[in-house]
Amino acid sequence: MDAISVIRTKRDKGELSPEQIDWVIDAYTRGEVADEQMSALAMAILLNGMNRGEIARWTAAMIASGERMDFSSLSRPTADKHSTGGVGDKITLPLAPLVAACGAAVPQLSGRGLGHTGGTLDKLESIPGWRALLSNEEMLSVLDTTGAVICAAGDGLAPADKKLYALRDVTGTVEAIPLIASSIMSKKIAEGTGSLVLDVKVGTGAFMKNIDDARELARTMVGLGTDSGVKTVALLTDMSTPLGLTAGNALEVRESVEVLAGGGPADVVELTIALAREMLDAAGIKDADPAKALRDGSAMDVWRRMIAAQGGDPDATLPVAREQHVVTAPSSGVLTRLDAYDVGIAAWRLGAGRARKEDPVQAGAGVELHAKPGDTVTAGQPLLTLHTDTPEKFAYALESLEHAWDIEAPGTPFTPRPIVLDRIA
């Protein structure tokens, strides 16, 4: 077996054999297949796809590259959630402690930013002292004592995916449905959660731009989970407009704390509660009210314990970017569109994301929104505020925002798009 023959098979639109898949994943994990060779194979998969059998085998090979976790010692049922990535998607931050406050254990293995989308770990690392890297023993301890943990997958959990995940980010292959599905599900199945809710984003700011592709991805992942004995359900949710009023790292943490305090933007609260209800139902918890847990402060209590258990200071002042630039509305009227992708690219260019897998991110960088579609704006009023430590990035970020919004005549009717578009189970 050799890498070139595997690449050629998929390049020529052939079906990879189980033996080819097992070999290439194992060889890449061991370093026998080079990054440039796996990059070529990933691009061939992006362009030519995989069938259901190939995806299942690829996922199984990723799982087999490492260990599997076991949460059977916990007194609570486990429920996890995964988002396919969006702009302003800070939902995991309030969601994990909320579901834990309602009686489930939430072992949330999260990732870093991919392309224009933000990463949960990048956001949380803006909290002074907070640690993403925990041993399996530490993860289990935090989960047992607080009910929720958000951390990076350990080196022993699907190590093939850890290498490929970083490679996809810098080679233009993030959007490949087979690679998205296998990446997510290999970690979630190996993680050992009893149930899983998938938040599959749809729209300009998502990797799935149309609902048909999103349904294909959702069905693929639900099938992979169900076949492996994990109760799995997917919600298709809108990502044509950024979630909430911030896109960045510390900016989104601040907004998440507002949600946990009983406030925050309505769209973030709505999606958080919808996903919490799905997770609790999948875990067999029928009598809990997540809306009440936000109101009465119990979710905030879990958040504070969870952050402290991972070395963070929940009372610490969050980083603030050294420089800001205000973008004003060019005319008066109704804001009918604010493009999630363009805002995500702007946040990425300001330093909230990375261009290379080894790049650092700026904790305070990002975009703050002062209006959402449906709002009436006045010429000259602040529309967006850009945040960065490096002001030379402003011009580059502003280029991505040149066509990011539409403002129609005053009084123009506006019908908001629902946040939850479909459910796949």
Supply the DSSP string of 66-77, one letter for each residue.
Answer: S-----TTSSS-
| Rounded distance between C-alpha atoms, residue 97 and residue 105, angstroms | 9
Tens digit of each residue's pLDDT (9 = 90 or more) over 129-180: 999 999 989 999 999 999 999 999 877 888 998 899 889 878 989 888 899 8
Exposure b/e, 294-322, CB count within 10 A at least 16 = b:
beeebbbbbbbbbbbbbebeeeeeebebe
- Cβ atoms of 196 and 188 within 8 Å: the answer is yes
Query: Running DSSP on this structure, what letter comes out for residue 245?
Result: T
- Find the mean pLDDT for residues 257-268: 97
What integer pLDDT is reported at residue 96 of this predicted model? 98
How many angstroms separate the Cα of 400 from the Cα of each of 280, 336, 407?
39, 18, 17
Active-site residue among 10, 57, 81, 82?
82
Tens digit of each residue's pLDDT (9 = 90 or more) over 9-58: 999 999 999 999 999 999 999 999 999 999 999 999 999 999 989 999 99
Instruction: Give the β-pairing of 246-248 and 376-377.
Output: unpaired
Confidence of residue 343 (pLDDT cuts 50, 70, 90): very high
- Cβ atoms of 351 and 365 within 8 Å: the answer is yes
Confidence of residue 113 (pLDDT cuts 50, 70, 90): confident
- Judged by DSSP in three states, 230 sits in coil
Is CATH 3.40.1030.10 what the domain over 80-309 is classified as, yes or no? yes
Segments of the chain assigned to CATH 3.90.1170.30: 323-408
- Judged by DSSP in three states, 197 sits in strand
H or E segment to which residue 57 belongs? helix 52-64
161 is catalytic: yes
What's the CATH number for 323-408? 3.90.1170.30
pLDDT at 358 over 90: no
What integer pLDDT is reported at residue 162 of this predicted model? 84
User: What token pair was written down for 38?
Assistant: 């796996």
Mean confidence (pLDDT) of the chain: 95
Considering only residues 117 and 393, tell me which one the structure prediction assigns the higher pLDDT: 393
Instruction: Give the β-pairing of 366-369 and 246-248.
Output: antiparallel
- With a pLDDT cut of 70, the percent of the chain lying above it is 100
What integer pLDDT is reported at residue 14 of this predicted model? 98
- Judged by DSSP in three states, 28 sits in helix
Segments of the chain assigned to CATH 3.40.1030.10: 80-309
How many angstroms separate the Cα of 96 from the Cα of each of 271, 298, 360?
13, 12, 26
Lowest-confidence region among 238-247, 326-335, 347-356: 347-356
Active-site residue among 162, 187, 349, 387?
187
What integer pLDDT is reported at residue 357 of this predicted model? 65
387 is catalytic: no
Tens digit of each residue's pLDDT (9 = 90 or more) over 405-420: 999 999 999 999 999 9
How many angstroms separate the Cα of 254 from the Cα of each of 49, 53, 183, 311?
40, 43, 29, 18
267 is catalytic: no
Confidence of residue 309 (pLDDT cuts 50, 70, 90): very high
* Domain 3-49 -> CATH class: mainly alpha
- Find the mean pLDDT for residues 51-78: 93
- Cβ atoms of 173 and 10 within 8 Å: the answer is no
Confidence of residue 383 (pLDDT cuts 50, 70, 90): very high
**351 residue type, one letter:** G
Query: Running DSSP on this structure, what letter comes out for residue 179?
Result: H
pTM higher than the cut 0.85: yes
* 3-state helix vs strand vs coil in the chain, percent to 5: 45, 15, 40
| Rounded distance between C-alpha atoms, residue 86 and residue 298, angstroms | 27
H or E segment to which residue 238 belongs? strand 231-238
What integer pLDDT is reported at residue 412 of this predicted model? 95
Lowest-confidence region among 174-178, 275-279, 349-353: 174-178
Cα dihedral sign, 210-213-215-217: negative
Phi-psi region for residue 122, left (φ > 0), alpha (ψ -120 to 50) or beta?
Answer: alpha
131 is catalytic: no
H or E segment to which residue 110 belongs? strand 106-110
Active-site residue among 57, 81, 90, 168?
168
Tens digit of each residue's pLDDT (9 = 90 or more) over 189-215: 998 999 999 999 999 999 899 999 999
User: What token pair was written down for 200?
Assistant: 């599959």
403 is catalytic: no
The C-alpha angle with vertex 403 and arms to 269 and 204, in degrees rounded to 5, equals 45
Active-site residue among 22, 89, 122, 161?
161
- Judged by DSSP in three states, 377 sits in strand
